Chain A
Amino acid sequence: MIELKEDALVFSFPAVHPEARLKITFQRTFRIPDDDKEYPLPPGFGAFPLRHVDDYAGKVPQRWIERGGVLLPMYQSEALWLDFMSYPTSYGRHAYPFAIKVATGKINAVTGDSWSEGLNRSPQDYMVSTEQPWLDGYCVEKGVIRQFVAMPLGAGYSAEEQITGEAEHGGIQIAVYPMKREAFENYFYFPKLEEAILVFGPSVCESCSEMGLSPGGRMRQEIYKDPFKLDDWDMENTSRCFVHIANSMVWRSITGDDPPTVPLTAKDYNDGGLPWFDYYNKDGKALSGSQKLDQMKSVAQKGKEKGDVPLPENESVTPDHIIKMRKSLMRDQVREGHF
């Protein structure tokens, strides 16, 4: 089951385990420069607003209603990262593990393959919540991703268009699989704590205002190998959601609300002495990148081909202040930026 609570998708599986809960938010951030350098992780500036598509029937395309799910606003060439937040359980505060599949335009962000149901290995097409706190982009090499950057669907930049040649879906697709209860209790047997700390138009706009995610700048981020067995995941109980991306310029005409403010540049953030982040998981093994995804042209490269300038203010930056976050110490650290 998925609930929309305060701009977060909250996944719960009461039929599997009462404490099986995962919260996913889409974080606003700045676009890292799309040059050949590799950058550390940019901060989050708060979650993108999320709304049920059903609340805007008549204001969004009919196919959005057919797909169900939610919508969020992005400006052209704005970036985004996904935050996977687990809840501590009463089992020694260990979080309940989930397998998470993420696609953009129904192209898997880890493998570059077309969307499929179920979990696959060789190559692994999902992430594990206990290993992977965030996903910033497409896994192009071992330890390197290309940042998720929004571009108008149909303009040729999105991962979907570069790989399939079509601009059919756009948006972000997510499926979450909980660990089987028996497997969880097997791995994480702890005497139960006394208190279970459980936290957790007028006119219809057509595809000119529909966005698809595209590969932007390079960032140091590992996608971690699943440390559990494929059989540990509960394939019978899954929840999935289609996240539509509306252009921020039309968000007000759809929802009546103001979109979030235009994000600042990497240069301004860095000049302000504000921190970037690095994540260190010494036990995690990183997946190799996907060739399919690596072969995509970044937004800047595609723009050059087309004679466009899709990314204003794309100058290189040297990050000055990097905060290292280690997996075991992460509990109280947050990947946040304030300006």
Chain B
Amino acid sequence: MTTYIVDYIVYNMETIFGQYIRGRREELRKKDRSFSLRQVAGKIGIEPSFLSRVERGEPTSLSEEKIIALAGVLGEDPDVLLALSGKVSTDIQDVIRKRPKLFAQLIRDLKDLPDHAVLRIVREVRDGDW
């Protein structure tokens, strides 16, 4: 009798994030041993066992501060890593909170534009009444 063991991989945020950072860390470790789990955990000030759970996609949560530190260690863009973990950096959240209608509309309008089309914001010189 053949037993089929099927692994169900649940693709949630934590899994994607965990897999990503593990992938990056392992790639760096091939060239440089200071990117071991233990050493990277040490560099950002968390327990290795904690980092291990994060990389396995277990429902643990790294703070914004720790994610930014991790991005620095792994040479990743902090906003990209934050987005992967389902967060938006606090400074951006503040900007949105101050003018939520404006930014929500702006982001929706730009959502489908290809990268090269979203190049720059133009501020026009305003003409008034004279």
Determine if B32 is an interface residue (Cβ-Cβ < 8 Å): no
Interface of B is mostly: loop
CB-defined contacts of B126 to chain A, threshold 8 Å: 52, 54, 68-69
**In the bound complex, how far is the Cα of B128 from the Cα of A68, in angstroms?**
4
**In the bound complex, how far is the Cα of B124 from the Cα of A2, in angstroms?**
5
CB-defined contacts of A54 to chain B, threshold 8 Å: 126
Report B119 CB to chain A, min CB distance, Å: 14
**In the bound complex, how far is the Cα of B122 from the Cα of A150, in angstroms?**
32
Report A170 CB to chain B, min CB distance, Å: 11
Interface string of B104-130 (1 = CB under 8 A from A): 000000000000000000111111111
A-B pairs with beta carbons under 8 A, tally: 44
CB-defined contacts of A242 to chain B, threshold 8 Å: 127-128, 130
Determine if A327 is an interface residue (Cβ-Cβ < 8 Å): no
Contact B123 A240 (CB under 8 A): no
CB-defined contacts of B125 to chain A, threshold 8 Å: 2-4, 9, 52, 68-70, 241
**In the bound complex, how far is the Cα of B126 from the Cα of A1, in angstroms?**
9
Contact B128 A65 (CB under 8 A): yes
Report A154 CB to chain B, min CB distance, Å: 18
B124, B129, B130: which contacts A1 (Cβ < 8 A)?
Answer: B124
Smallest Cβ-Cβ distance to A65: which chain B residue:
B128
**In the bound complex, how far is the Cα of B123 from the Cα of A169, in angstroms?**
25
Interface size bucket, B side?
Answer: under 10
Contact A3 B127 (CB under 8 A): no
Report B127 CB to chain A, min CB distance, Å: 5
CB under 8 Å from chain B, chain A span 304-329: none
Contact B130 A67 (CB under 8 A): yes
CB-defined contacts of B124 to chain A, threshold 8 Å: 1-3
**In the bound complex, how far is the Cα of B23 from the Cα of A211, in angstroms?**
65
Report B94 CB to chain A, min CB distance, Å: 21
CB-defined contacts of A70 to chain B, threshold 8 Å: 125
Contact A67 B128 (CB under 8 A): yes
CB-defined contacts of A240 to chain B, threshold 8 Å: 127
Report B3 CB to chain A, min CB distance, Å: 66
Interface string of A55-99 (1 = CB under 8 A from B): 000000000011111100000000000000000000000000000
Contact B127 A66 (CB under 8 A): no
Determine if A173 is an interface residue (Cβ-Cβ < 8 Å): yes
Report B120 CB to chain A, min CB distance, Å: 10
**In the bound complex, how far is the Cα of B128 from the Cα of A29, in angstroms?**
29
CB-defined contacts of A3 to chain B, threshold 8 Å: 122-125
CB under 8 Å from chain B, chain A span 150-172: 169
Determine if A114 is an interface residue (Cβ-Cβ < 8 Å): no
CB-defined contacts of A106 to chain B, threshold 8 Å: 130
**In the bound complex, how far is the Cα of B123 from the Cα of A173, in angstroms?**
20
Smallest Cβ-Cβ distance to B127: which chain A residue:
A68
Q: Mind listing 23 A-B residue pairs with CB under 8 Å?
A: A1-B122, A2-B127, A3-B125, A9-B125, A52-B123, A52-B125, A65-B128, A66-B129, A66-B130, A67-B128, A67-B129, A67-B130, A68-B127, A68-B128, A68-B130, A69-B125, A169-B130, A239-B127, A241-B125, A241-B127, A242-B127, A242-B128, A242-B130
Given contacts A52-B125, A54-B126, A67-B130, 18 further A-B contacts (CB under 8 A): A1-B122, A1-B124, A2-B124, A2-B127, A3-B123, A4-B125, A52-B123, A66-B128, A68-B125, A68-B127, A68-B128, A68-B129, A69-B125, A69-B127, A106-B130, A241-B127, A242-B128, A242-B130
